[in-house]
Structure 1
Amino acid sequence: MNDSSWGAPQGAGFRGTPEMTAAPAGPVHDVHGAQQTRPMPIVPDVPDAGRDVGREAENRDDRDRDAAHVGGPLFRDEMPQEPMSTPLPPPPQKKRAGRDLRAAIGVGLGLGAVIVVSLFIVKAVFVGVIALAVVVGLWELTSRLKERKDIDAPLVPLAVGGVAMVVAGYARGPEGAWIAMALTALAVLVQRMTRPPEGYLKDVTAGVFAAFYVPFLATFVALMLTADDGEWRVLTFLVLTVVSDTGAYAVGWRFGKHKLAPRISPGKTREGLLGAVAFAMAGGALCMEFLIDGGAWWQGLLLGLGVAASATLGDLGESMIKRDLGIKDMGTLLPGHGGIMDRLDSLLPTAPVVWLLLVLFVGST
């Protein structure tokens, strides 16, 4: 092989290795003569066939992979990885009432108009409104007891005795109401004897409870009505109860954070109770000063405090009953409100409290 094939430098001063300078075995040619050996052309290194096949396969795989990336990922692992962004928190939602407020307001205004008109036109008509509410409330309560607990409290003696309690209280005072209550309880016991003895104790116990809870407590509204300014006393009772409920709802909805009785009524808060007390005391001071003959503003503060306490306890009491029965409302008669009993829950226990405090402050007549 010629030296030029290695890229070795030419010219004088170059000395080859002994092997390169040694005389070849064979005829000697003159290096300067015509028979000088032709230099071998430089040929680039060519890889062997196996290496060519492997490299071609690799190139084909590369082209396929490039084509796959152009057209879209073939495998989930080849999906382009984007930096994970922290999800934005959902926008705060406004608190909403759990009922149809338009229906509730409409029904409330309608009931209020009926009550006010009957109260200030003919007192006897308002007594009839009380008796009707008592009968409907008893029907709702006994129906739910039968449906949910299989307790059969007799409705007929309860309804008749309930109307008798309201009328006797208005006509004969507290003594008449107590007598009617006792006779109603006796009628419940006797009427239940007409059926088999199984479940007698639970049925009559529920019946006596219903007689006390609905008509007997409602009788104190009729007792308030017997005074000379009875219509104003009843109006004060209704206004303060509504104001207490409104204050509890408004303050609790806006500022409520600490639960009042989560096992009984999760929606009620301590802040709502403070709102009920504040609203009722302010309303009581105004009512005693301007609506009740002989009343004073400081008496109204005490009256409002009593109303807030009794209305809250009454609301919690019926919530306890409904939780035991596993229902949300006692009925569906009043759109946006539920049933009659769902409106009487805070009124019923508040009636004797207002009656008693008014008797202590300004007398019974």
Structure 2
Amino acid sequence: MNDSSWGAPAPAGYWGPDQGPAPAGPGGPLPAGPAYDQHRAQQTAPMPIVPDVPAAGDQEPMPTPPPQQPPQKKSAGRDLGAAIGVGVGLGAVIIASLFIWKPAFVGVIALAVVVGLWELTTRLQERKGIKAPLVPLAVGGAAMVVAGYVRGAEGAWVAMALTALAVLVWRMTEPPEGYLKDVTAGVFAAFYVPFLATFVALMLTADDGPERVLTFLLLTVVSDTGAYAIGWRFGKHKLAPRISPGKTREGLLGAVTFAMAAGALCMQFLIDDGTWWQGLLLGLAVAASATLGDLGESMIKRDLGIKDMGTLLPGHGGIMDRLDSLLPTAPVVWLLLVLFVGTA
């Protein structure tokens, strides 16, 4: 065997004179020097270490690999059955009140506004210690919706101003600590919930008011449904991961596609003097405003550290969790319908 198999040859004189006399070769003792050193290296080169092999009876059994888990199905994160049931029930109440007696639907809007304000102010106090006064907000919010239906946009603006003033005065009955943040939150809540909801009542005042409101509701629901269906099945690229990790760009594309198709149908067959191309623009605007509204409330909920605003609606969360995309969409639809077909 070549020594180079074990490493480099030992240098001359490595073993030194203290290793004993030179061994005898075939012709006598080997002379000291390189040949002697090479002989010593050959005689004392270490053998390779061979690991011990246990006997057959001593061998440990091979560890059993863990059983493979079946692939988990994609979850939507909600109780779908409860969500569908609640959605159908709410839809029945809305449609019945909308087409049977308009004032009844105004009452439905006012009730939703009051419950939404209660949820919002309760979460603000629980999570941030902000005490936005609920009583003037609830009274002023309901009055805002009614004023918008009875007196139009001017009535809504006057009710909004009076509600903000009532919030400022009502909060004066408590200690001044935190006054600024409390009234600021109160004015924000008055604008965010009842004032934006008033545009639904403004739509209702037209001759084809029920059809306009139905178009508004259908397009918003279809936009959310398209975003949910396409995003859940094909969503890979996050839309706004820091705000709402569940929303994807594919979902947004689904919302736009579904809403534009529904808008073309609604404008062509439901709205007087409407055309399909106006519906395409309307659907695009609804998809954008509904998505922004959803992201806006997601920002609020992230700041508050909560998942839902409430638990009133099984499978949906709270009233505010259903109004998040409807509220900012209402003024957009109202304005575009006024531009496309007028106010009558």
Q: How many angstroms does 1:93 deviate by? A: 2.1
Q: How many angstroms does 1:178 deviate by? A: 0.3
Distance in 2 between residues matched to 1:88 and 1:352, nearest whole Å: 56
Residue in 1 aligned with 2:247? 268
Residue in 2 aligned with 1:313? 292
One-letter amino acid of the counterpart of residue 80, structure 1: E
Residue in 2 aligned with 1:194? 173
Distance in 2 between residues matched to 1:233 and 1:91, nearest whole Å: 49
Residue in 2 aligned with 1:47? none
Q: How many angstroms does 1:362 deviate by? A: 0.1
Aligned counterpart for 1:92 among listed residues 65, 71, 74 = 71
Aligned counterpart for 1:118 among listed residues 76, 97, 100 = 97
2:274 is paired with a residue whose SS is coil
Output the TM-score relative to the length of structure 2.
Answer: 0.82
Distance in 2 between residues matched to 1:136 and 1:85, nearest whole Å: 57
Residue in 2 aligned with 1:205? 184
Correspondences of 1:248-263 after superposition (within 5 Å):
248-263=227-242
Residue in 2 aligned with 1:73? none
RMSD: 1.7
Distance in 2 between residues matched to 1:188 and 1:79, nearest whole Å: 81
Q: How many angstroms does 1:162 deviate by? A: 0.2
Q: Deviations over 1:14-44 (max 9, x none)?
A: xxxxxxxxxxxxxxxxxxxxxxxxxxxxxxx
What is the aligned residue count? Answer: 291
Q: How many angstroms does 1:89 deviate by? A: 6.0
Residue in 1 aligned with 2:25? none
Distance in 2 between residues matched to 1:258 and 1:268, nearest whole Å: 9
2:307 is paired with a residue whose SS is coil
Percent identity between the two aligned chains: 85
Distance in 1 between residues matched to 2:263 and 2:166, nearest whole Å: 40
Q: How many angstroms does 1:79 deviate by? A: 4.0
Q: How many angstroms does 1:218 deviate by? A: 0.2
Correspondences of 1:180-191 after superposition (within 5 Å):
180-191=159-170
Distance in 2 between residues matched to 1:278 and 1:184, nearest whole Å: 39
Aligned counterpart for 1:80 among listed residues 51, 60, 69 = 60
Distance in 1 between residues matched to 2:112 and 2:309, nearest whole Å: 14
One-letter amino acid of the counterpart of residue 207, structure 2: D
Q: Deviations over 1:178-229 (max 9, x none)?
A: 0000000000001111111000000000000000000000000000000000
Q: How many angstroms does 1:94 deviate by? A: 1.7
2:313 is paired with a residue whose SS is coil
One-letter amino acid of the counterpart of residue 202, structure 2: L
1:173 is paired with a residue whose SS is helix
Residue in 2 aligned with 1:15? none
One-letter amino acid of the counterpart of residue 256, structure 2: V
Output the TM-score relative to the length of structure 1.
Answer: 0.78
Q: Runs of 5+ in structure 1 lacking a partner? A: 1-64, 70-77
- Specify the structure having the higher radius of gyration (Cα): 1
Residue in 2 aligned with 1:340? 319
Distance in 2 between residues matched to 1:257 and 1:88, nearest whole Å: 29
Q: How many angstroms does 1:92 deviate by? A: 2.8
Distance in 2 between residues matched to 1:350 and 1:286, nearest whole Å: 18
